[in-house]
Amino acid sequence: MEPQVQYVRSADGVSIAFFEMGEGVPLILSPNIWDHLTVGWRDEGRDASLRLVRDGFRLVRYNMRGMGMSDRDVYDFSIEAQMADLEALRGRLGLERFVLYSNVHASPVCITYAARHPERLTHLILSMPFSNGNDWYRALPTLRGLESFREMGDEQWELYTLTHATALGAHTPGADAEQMAQLMRECTTPDTLRRYFEALRSQDVTPLLDEIHTPTLVVRVGGVVGSEFARSVASRIANARLVTAAASASVAGPSLEAMAHVTRFVLGREPSPLERAGAASSAAAAAGTAIILFADIVDSTALTERIGDAAFRAKARELDGALRAIIGEAGGAAIDGKLLGDGVLATFPAAAQAIEAALRCGDAGEGQGLPLHLGLHAGDVIREANNVFGGAVNIASRISALSAPGEVLVSDIVRGLARTSAGVTFEDRGEHALKGVTEPQRVFAVRRRE
């Protein structure tokens, strides 16, 4: 599910890059400075965003002015200018009320927004917040010790970012300093970073904490330098809830554990075991050869026109949850680049598991009045950002399109792998020329044994 980046122009003409995904409770994630909407779309930063979508949020992420994919040549980093960015985004999306999630450097802006516009927020989430920019800056040795590098950042930009990333990574298990440093270099420039920190050190919004009455969750990251500021912020906000979460391996975003706290706080429920397992989908799908399940809702366009878009989406979301459960129980991994909406894509380590899941998915679709085309193929795949690519995926898709509603068709490769292990029979449907595939493919219909 690659983000579709869009732009909105702020009051002073600065273009702010953003994307949105999912349906449900609107949540705007206000970023830290080390964020890039596409380069940072990987690892735990990506998985945390998808976790929010799976949990029932309409997620909006944007890049701070001067950073990431937003306009770079920026001189005004005042709170007023950054609040105008947030307002432009809110207006563009037509949001009357929403959840505001602040991540580290966005703290002063989001605290100010919550104090001035309580009528626009349903909840406020402050992850690793601080209210006094100068105090925060001076307390972090990773910043104090790097001031000399910052001054010569134009000539030593790679050295500065690698040193900074290494210092951050010391508190983040599993972090890759070189990868973090590369992301930092993609996010901003030495001049812009200097201007940003100069502005930040003059920002003190501590008095505004007493004026916040929006339900507030403060997330402290255990073992990370600067986490003591979170406790101080929470103590000043009426009825704020303070929780501790593990550090994220991604410098750009919050951790999966933090997302579970958000779901509990905003939606008032525990994430289901399926949702907790969802973030592991990318790890469960190891590189190399896979059994690929491809499914599509039969004639979804006509069905949408007949019952209406809202009704179709509601039924599709319900079926999506059922299919995820089936795939997970069968030992597979749902791929987030292709989820209902119109269909599902999943990978499995064994053909028998994939066939079992496909048959159960067909039953689930029939039971909910959304019959599925289902196809299975096996082959090597390329994995990137919890998505899979390659000729084998295309063949699975073409085989799926050949199937009758609720029927499971498999390639000859899958039939051979599962002939003695799946407990089913196979009905030969002959060879078919598939669009974009050089050689004809023989396909078989799966039949349960009597």
Amino acid type, 375 = G
Cβ neighbors of 354 (< 8 A, separation 6 or more) are: 291, 292, 293, 330, 332, 346, 348, 376, 414, 418
Report the C-alpha gap between 184 and 186 in whole angstroms.
Answer: 5
Query: What pLDDT is recorded for position 130?
Result: 93
Does 271 share its domain with 416? Answer: no
Instruction: Walk along the chain (450 residues) and give the pLDDT tens digit of each residue.
Output: 557 889 999 999 999 999 998 888 999 998 888 888 877 665 556 677 777 888 889 999 999 999 988 998 889 999 999 999 999 999 999 999 999 999 888 999 999 999 999 999 999 999 989 999 888 888 765 555 555 555 555 567 777 777 777 766 544 544 567 777 777 888 888 888 888 888 998 999 999 999 999 999 999 876 565 677 888 899 999 889 988 876 665 555 566 778 888 888 898 765 544 444 443 343 333 346 789 999 888 887 777 778 777 777 777 777 877 887 888 788 888 775 444 446 688 888 888 889 999 999 999 989 888 899 999 998 877 765 456 777 788 889 899 999 999 999 999 999 988 876 668 899 999 999 888 777 888 999 999 876
Query: What pLDDT is recorded for position 281?
Result: 40
* Strand, coil or helix: 402: helix
In a domain, 244, yes or no: yes
Does 292 share its domain with 326? Answer: yes
Give the end of a domain, one of 277, 295, 328: 277
* Cα distances (Å, whole numbers) of residue 203 to 16, 46, 128, 225: 22, 30, 16, 20
Q: Pairing relation of β-strands 6-9 and 15-21?
A: antiparallel
Query: What pLDDT is recorded for position 276?
Result: 44
| Residues paired with residue 217 on neighbouring β-strands, in sequence order | 125, 241
Handedness of CA 324, 384, 372, 311 (dihedral sign): positive
- Number of C-beta neighbours around residue 185 at 10 A: 18
Place of tokens 């010790």: 145
| 387 token code pair | 């998505």
Does 228 share its domain with 323? Answer: no
Dihedral pair phi/psi, residue 9, rounded to 5°: -95, 130
DSSP state of 204: B
Q: Where does 117-176 have alpha helices with state H?
A: 133-139, 141-144, 147-151, 157-169
Query: What pLDDT is recorded for position 341?
Result: 46
* Strand, coil or helix: 21: strand
Query: What pLDDT is recorded for position 142?
Result: 54
Does 207 share its domain with 254? Answer: yes
Tell how far CA 153 is from the center of its chain.
32
CATH number of the domain enclosing 431: 3.30.70.1230
- Going by C-alpha positions, the residue among 266, 264, 243, 279 that lies closest to residue 127 is 243
With 0-12 / 13-18 / 19 or more C-beta atoms within 10 angstroms meaning exposed / middle / buried, residue 440 is exposed
Domain tally, the chain: 2
Q: List, as one string, the DSSP characters of 256-267.
A: HHHHHHHIIIII
Does 314 share its domain with 244? Answer: no
In a domain, 99, yes or no: yes
What range defines the domain where residue 329 resides?
284-448
What's the CA angle centered on 306, arms 94 and 402, to 5 degrees? 105
Does 44 share its domain with 186? Answer: yes
Given a contact cutoff of 8 angstroms between Cβ atoms, the answer to whether 111 and 203 are in contact is no
Does 104 share its domain with 251? Answer: yes
In a domain, 1, yes or no: no
Does 55 share its domain with 201? Answer: yes
- Going by C-alpha positions, the residue among 313, 390, 318, 315 that lies closest to residue 347 is 390
| 414 token code pair | 């899958």
CB hemisphere CA count around 199 (13 angstroms) = 21
Amino acid type, 334 = A
Query: What pLDDT is recorded for position 440?
Result: 87
Report the C-alpha gap between 290 and 378 in whole angstroms.
Answer: 6
Given a contact cutoff of 8 angstroms between Cβ atoms, the answer to whether 168 and 153 are in contact is no
In a domain, 43, yes or no: yes
In a domain, 302, yes or no: yes
| Residues paired with residue 95 on neighbouring β-strands, in sequence order | none
Dihedral pair phi/psi, residue 70, rounded to 5°: -75, 170
Given a contact cutoff of 8 angstroms between Cβ atoms, the answer to whether 64 and 96 are in contact is no
Q: Please state the pTM of the whole predicted model.
A: 0.59
Query: What pLDDT is recorded for position 275?
Result: 43
In a domain, 332, yes or no: yes
Cβ neighbors of 140 (< 8 A, separation 6 or more) are: 225, 226
Does 314 share its domain with 173? Answer: no
Handedness of CA 394, 400, 402, 408 (dihedral sign): positive
Given a contact cutoff of 8 angstroms between Cβ atoms, the answer to whether 248 and 255 are in contact is yes
CATH number of the domain enclosing 98: 3.40.50.1820
Does 250 share its domain with 351? Answer: no
Report the C-alpha gap between 243 and 230 in whole angstroms.
Answer: 10
Give the end of a domain, one of 249, 277, 305: 277
Does 254 share its domain with 292? Answer: no
| Residues paired with residue 9 on neighbouring β-strands, in sequence order | 15
Does 239 share its domain with 334? Answer: no
Give the end of a domain, one of 208, 243, 277: 277
- Going by C-alpha positions, the residue among 84, 91, 85 that lies closest to residue 63 is 85
In a domain, 168, yes or no: yes
In a domain, 440, yes or no: yes
Report the C-alpha gap between 125 and 426 in whole angstroms.
Answer: 54
Place of tokens 């910043």: 143
Cβ neighbors of 275 (< 8 A, separation 6 or more) are: 51, 54, 55, 263
Where in 64-179 does DSSP place strands (E)?
98-103, 121-127
